[in-house]
Every structure is written in C-alpha cells, then in structure tokens.
C-alpha cells in the first residue's frame, strides 16, 4: 500500500534513537523528509549520516520553550513546508510514588508533559489540511506500569491533551493521534531491565504477560507510527493506538 508520504516533511523529536529513529527510518524509506531533534549532537549527526539528504537535525531540548519554533523554522528552511510531526518526549525516571521526589516530578512535568503540550500546540498551528501529529505515549495511558509512577501520572494526561487537540484542529483537516508502545526493544527498555534486582527474571516475567510472547522491534513501532502520520490514515483522528503485542487487556 502506498502511504502517500513522498516529499512530505515531518518533524521527529527524539529522532536520533529508539522509537523516534525507527519512525524516521520508515518515513524516509517511504519518500518523506524529516527534521530530527534531540539533545545529543553526536547521535543526531550519526542519524543524519545514515538517513542521507532526506534528513536534517536540530539539537534541541523539548523543555526549552524556543524548541517548537526552531523545528518549524528548520522544516520550512530546508524544504519549504511542514506536513506533520511525531512528538516523542522520552521516558521519565523510574520509581514508586512513595520514592519519587518533588524535584523529579517537576523536571519530568517540564519536559515530558509541558514540553509535549507546547510542541503539539505550536506544530499544529503550522499545519494545513491533511497535516498530522502523533504523540508517543505508553501503555501506561490505560494501565499503570510497575515502578514507573511518573509515567503513570503524566501519560494519561497527555493522551487527553492529544484527544482535545484533535477536537480543536479537526475542522482544519488536521489529525492528532497517540501511540501506546508496550515493551519494544529500545535502549530505554534495556536500561529499565538492567535496573531490576534480577534483570533476566524481570525480562522473562514481562514477556510472559505479552500474548505474542516476545517484545516488539523498533521498526514494528515505526511502521505503525508512519501509517498514522500518513494520508493512508486520513480518517483516523483522536485515536490511541496500542503497539504492544496485545499486552493491554482492556478493549
């Protein structure tokens, strides 16, 4: 199926690695162009070198209020248009509610929550008809994850922001959706496993709760994200799409 992505331009935050990079790979393979952002110049340079002339990079922090305008300017400066964005804000630190400090909550709120809201607001304003945004959230939108209190607290709120933004920009022909990744083989998941008392046992226990009995690969997430962003999903808006191997038990 042709996703209709040829020559379209997308911002991909957190695009140097993990789920953002996997999505950028698929977008470029389908003929799109991408503006990658992240905090590591080294990682971004490596990603741009791999992706070739269809990619440019902006070193930026999602918590910085100037970041959204810089990303819009980069897209317009490189290719004269902006068609959508994957808004990925990374994962907050692990910890139980009883352990996480006020400072950790505040820092995560600035980056994970407010940073994403600001990006969505500014980028949506720069999109015309057939524009599309997708927020990278988590299965914690629907069910809490052990030892991830901050994610459990912030992700559901972001899902409602995305749903509300979809209502607001829908009359202009702009779509907004969310992606709920489960256990996908990224650096983030490997880091969480390594922090467990028994990493091997933690991994086996997690896999046993997934109906497909395996973790996802980043490219599997990337294909789902590229579809949601593409004109092929032109009547999908305000949806929260699990990419989790069936681990969420609710309908």
- Per residue in 162-186, pLDDT tens? 999 999 999 999 999 999 999 998 8
Q: What are phi and psi of 190, to 5 degrees?
A: -60, -40
CB 207 within 8 A of CB 189: no
- Per residue in 18-37, pLDDT tens? 999 999 999 999 999 999 99
Output the CA angle 121-154-35, nearest 5 degrees: 40
Q: What is the CATH number of the domain that holds 170?
A: 3.40.50.720
Residue 55 lies in a domain: yes
Q: What is the pTM of this model?
A: 0.94
Residue 225 lies in a domain: yes
What's the rounded Cα separation, in Å, for the pair 151 and 207?
A: 20
pLDDT value of residue 113 = 96
- Per residue in 115-167, pLDDT tens? 999 999 999 999 999 999 999 999 999 999 989 999 999 999 999 999 999 99
Residue 249 lies in a domain: no
Q: Per-residue pLDDT for 199 more than 90?
A: no
Residue 245 lies in a domain: no
Residue 224 lies in a domain: yes
Domain that holds residue 120: 9-187+218-240
Residue 51 lies in a domain: yes
229 versus 192: the higher-pLDDT residue is 229
Residue 132 lies in a domain: yes
Residue 124 lies in a domain: yes
Beta-carbon contacts of 189 under 8 Å, excluding residues fewer than 6 positions away, are: 183, 215
List Cα–Cα distances, 141 to 95, 150, 155, 180, in angstroms.
17, 12, 5, 7
Per the structure, how many domains does the chain have?
1
């Amino acid at each position: 199926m042709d996703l209709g992505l040829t020559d379209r331009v997308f911002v991909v935050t957190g695009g140097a690695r993990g789920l953002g990079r996997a999505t950028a790979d698929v977008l470029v393979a389908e003929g799109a162009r991408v503006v990658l952002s992240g905090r590591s110049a080294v990682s971004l340079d490596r990603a741009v070198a791999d992706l070739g002339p269809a990619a440019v990079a902006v070193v930026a922090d999602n918590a910085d209020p100037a970041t959204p305008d810089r990303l819009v300017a980069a897209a317009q400066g490189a290719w004269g248009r902006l068609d959508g964005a994957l808004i990925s804000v990374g994962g907050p630190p692990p910890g139980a509610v009883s352990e996480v400090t006020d400072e950790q909550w505040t820092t995560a709120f600035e980056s994970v929550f407010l940073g994403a809201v600001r990006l969505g607001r500014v980028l949506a304003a720069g999109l015309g008809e057939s524009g599309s945004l997708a927020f990278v959230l988590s299965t914690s939108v629907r069910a809490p994850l052990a030892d991830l209190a901050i994610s459990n607290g912030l992700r559901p709120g972001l899902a409602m922001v995305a749903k509300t933004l979809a209502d607001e920009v829908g009359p202009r022909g702009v779509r907004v959706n969310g992606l709920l990744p489960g256990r996908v083989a990224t650096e983030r998941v490997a880091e969480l496993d390594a922090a467990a008392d028994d990493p091997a046992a933690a991994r086996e226990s997690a896999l046993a709760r997934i109906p497909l009995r395996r973790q996802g690969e980043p490219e599997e997430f990337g294909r789902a994200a590229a579809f949601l962003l593409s004109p092929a999903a032109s009547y999908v808006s305000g949806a929260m799409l699990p990419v989790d191997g069936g681990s969420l038990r609710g309908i």
